[in-house]
Chain A
Amino acid sequence: MKPAIRKATTHVNQNEGLIFEKSSAGKSAWRLPPLDVPEVDTSKLLGSAERKDLGHMPEVSEIEIIRHFTRLSTWNYAIDLGMYPLGSCTMKYNPRVNEVVSRLDGLANGHPYQPEKISQGALRILKTLSDCLIEITGMDAITLQPAAGAHGELTGLLLVRAHHQSKGHPRKKILIPDSAHGTNPATAATVGYAVENLKSDSRGMVDVAALAAQMNEDVAALMLTNPNTLGVFEQDIAKIADIMHAKGGLLYMDGANMNALVGKVRPGDFGVDVMHLNLHKTFSTPHGGGGPGSGPVAVKKILEPYLPTPVVITKPDGTLGFEYNRPQSVGRVRAFYGNFGMFVRALAYTLANGPDGLRQTTEDAVLNANYIRKGLEGAYDLPYSTPSMHEVVFSDKLQAKKGVKTMDIAKRLIDYGFHPYTTAFPLIVPGALMIEPTESESKEEMDLFIEAMRSIAEEVEEDPEMVLAAPHTTRVSRLDEVAAARKPVLRWKPS
């Protein structure tokens, strides 16, 4: 009997198995140098603490590992492949020189506890980056220790709490706009604060009257993202800061959207008391599939005594060192000094730009977001007509009439070769499409994106079913997330 003609489903690149499925005893990808000290009897040294077996750890060769991970990599979308307009994520180009300099021997192999005398290079990097970030934010002091944005928020609120505590009462709650990232309320809870929601007004900004009404001596701080998650600059920022300060509260700025401000305006100048930066957003360190990040926290003078230890100081002899003796410090938030490798990259980015490059970058980011906005107006509903800074938020209102939601449009966008925008966030816009092109997109790339989005809007009218079934071109089709959560399979097990 002749075999039926089938689709080529056995294509290797598209069907890479799990590494465990390639393992067999006796294969190896390692070789150790000969021991230059006597061999030891491990069971004599360790006794009952000796481990006999490493279970189902794989045994594979080097070429198999290279192929395995290279094949897996080809299933990922990446900034290197094209536009990645995730709102509030700032998916900008990750310069390669950053990777090179972070791998220089003295920096990559520097031990965090090596004597200060032979750590002057690393200390100089910490100091130079700190100085640059203080200047960029217009603040007075900084800690680089927090490992990511949310970790920076936590650190910032610890400082806020210490400040109020020093006045005799830590206060009870944090005000958070309804447009904020989920990390803001989650952080407030971790620091022992209650969260009070703040409604946005019809422009998508903080409702100043509501803020004035809600502000009282129980409020420790307002956590404000500026520009906010709608990509809108809080125009009443001066009034907001005044309302907070009049009652002894502090203004915390979530710096997730700092890419809209660098070189154009400084948070320290408009009343912010404490803020975090995301080096993996604004300062080009790679997102790496979800980290590492880095979340320095910059503060005004009043909060400086509380910064985590250690802090970098210049000693009388001109060399740099760490200072640990700071009795008012909130303590450590992480072992060692933070994600140093990210500091190297962020500083390399800053040096590559200089003051003119940083400003041009911000201008291009805002220019690009407005170009996207102009290009998609009409095809998608724009819930807030307030001017956009670095990102723009549309809604799926027009498409929802055909039963097509923001996530469906996003999945169809994949077929056009783009990574989707951020879906269904901020929560104040039902069915949100949150688009942040960053400065890294050329006009040509944005034209293609706009064309794709407009084309999808037409497809929704003509053939909504096709859009609902997207993506059609990926290795896997839509995955069953409900089943994954109902009966979690979180590891491979031998069958």
Chain B
Amino acid sequence: MRYLPKSPADREAILKAIGGRSIDDLFAPIPAEYRLNRDLKVPRQMAESEIVDWFRERSRENGDGYATFLGAGAYYHYRPVIIDSLISRGEFLTAYTPYQAEISQGTLQSIFEFQTMICELTGMEVANASMYDGSTAATEAVMMAVRLTGRRSVVVARNVHPEYREVLATYARHQGMPLTTAGYKDSGRVDLRELEESVNQNTACVLIQSPNFFGTIEDVGAVADIAHKNGAMLVVSIAEAVSLGIVEPPRQADVVAMEAQSFGVPLGFGGPYCGVIATREKYVRQMPGRLVGQTTDRNGKRGFVLTLATREQHIRREKATSNICTNQALVALMANIFMTIYGKVGLKELAKQNLAKTAYAAQQFGKHAQVLFAGTPRFNEFVVQTSEDPYAINSRTLGHKIVGGFPLKKFYPELGNAALWCCTETTTRAAIDTAVGLVAESERSVKSSVETGVEEVTR
């Protein structure tokens, strides 16, 4: 086996040194009746070239070469090449959690920079080293609010990512955290009146997403007022991080729970991604996850360490703020490098391109089908309502190597034949025009079949 650095003679020598007669002696503590006396039924050992071929085949079967209009919590942005060249360095790739600070300063300083940039972008004062993803970050942020307020019930906007809400429901069920849902208005935004009616003295927090699942930007200030006047906290989830380049961050929030996948992390069929939690300094001791802090060594030199560990499971065990241990460090490093590359000016320009492509696409689609929530500011997603089932439309776009918008029927049946379309800087005008053309064709054929139908009836 090519990964194993021992010759048969080495194994013999080691066995001799430890006074064993055979390898099986070493497994003697395992009761004999349980020992496996056969080969595992897994594929035979493959050569590296065979492994590459096998996965190339899988890659070809997996939508390779399609343009996509899918967003819905996972965004296709261009990834500058230096991200992979840097994170591929063995010193980053093959290091462990930086518990031994003296030989982990690279990881530690980069996380400190990551925390700083997340603070700058979200308008918060502290950010952690990462959570698993946006869904678990939102959930842990809500649990944090429950601890901080001593209240237990949670009001969630229905236009928060449906899968984020599912994860929250899974966690909340056994912690005595009743969830109430507030609907959305014709604007695509959360219904403030419903929110007003749902939030009360038992509410630990309100959870909204902005830009929300429909791509529209919430009036965070108005939601914050409702939460705060009832003594509840406001948790804002951000699924599309690139929006922070041009959309005002939710400064009125108490906790921001983010998915940083858009910052240079490949779509990768849904993971690994990078959740983050950011909040106010005064709440830091109830924060989950790892934190890096600045300190000095014995010679007064600046250095970085994992800090405030008394919140964490390895110290506090069942009283910890979360059970999280391994997080998403290398993915956070990708996001960190991405933020560094685009920086103060680039992030804004990048976000602007997203905005421009989306504005163009929404306008074009609007000529043939109904674009919902049209009057509300949005970032890079919009909902198109068609006469035909979007699944049927999408099966035709596939023929043009285009993946159409995300059909909303499953989560929002009341919207009928609606789909969530997303444009980023990578979306070409040509792809938009082709997709719009196919939607227009669909509308025409539905209309003409309706007309034919009417004619037939009259006849």
Contact = CB atoms under 8 A, between A and B. Distances in A.
A119 B269 contact: yes
Which of A69, A270, A355, A370 gathers the greatest number of chain B CB atoms within 10 Å?
A: A69
Contact of A108 (B100, B163, B268, B296): B268
B132 A334 contact: yes
Contacts of A35: 353, 356-357
Interface in A38-81: 38-40, 42, 45-51, 54-60, 62, 65-66, 68-70, 72-81
Interface stretch (B19-27, B148-156, B201-209): B19-27
Interface string B85-124: 1111111111111101111111101101101110111000
Interface string A396-440: 000000000000001100100001100001000000000000011
Given A109-B266, A352-B45, A490-B292, A19 B340 contact: yes
Contacts of A489: 293-295
B418 to A, nearest CB: 15
A81 to B, nearest CB: 7
A367 B318 contact: no
A286 to B, nearest CB: 5
A366 B40 contact: no
A51 B50 CA distance: 50
Contacts of B51: 97, 101, 348, 351-352
A292 B331 contact: yes
Contact of A40 (B89, B91, B331, B352): B352
B365 interface: no
B40 A263 contact: yes
Nearest to B248: A51
A95 B245 CA distance: 37
A475 B405 CA distance: 52
B74 interface: yes
A65 B267 contact: no
Nearest to B391: A115
Nearest to B54: A351
A76 B106 contact: yes
A21 B123 CA distance: 20
B214 interface: no
B313 A354 contact: no
Nearest to A270: B34
Given A97-B48, A290-B97, A414 B268 contact: no
B3 A65 contact: no
A55 B341 CA distance: 15
Enumerate the 5 nearest inter-chain pairs by beta-carbon distance, A residue then B residue, closest first: A288-B330, A336-B270, A354-B45, A80-B90, A121-B62
A311 interface: no
Nearest to A473: B102
Contact of B318 (A32, A55, A195, A308): A195
Which of B93, B112, B129 gathers the greatest number of chain A CB atoms within 10 Å?
A: B93
A479 interface: yes
B94 A38 contact: no
A107 B59 contact: yes
B76 interface: yes
Given A359-B40, A367-B14, A189 B341 contact: no
Given A76-B107, A95-B3, A147-B132, A107 B268 contact: yes
B234 interface: no
Which of B90, B268, B307, B350 gathers the greatest number of chain A CB atoms within 10 Å?
A: B268
Contacts of A183: 313-314, 323, 325
B415 interface: no
B59 A111 contact: no
A138 to B, nearest CB: 8
B459 interface: no
B303 interface: yes
B142 interface: no
A287 B95 contact: yes
Contacts of A16: 109
20 contacts: A32-B349, A37-B356, A46-B377, A76-B103, A76-B107, A77-B104, A81-B91, A108-B267, A147-B136, A181-B313, A189-B319, A233-B30, A292-B132, A336-B133, A364-B11, A371-B17, A476-B101, A480-B295, A480-B296, A490-B307
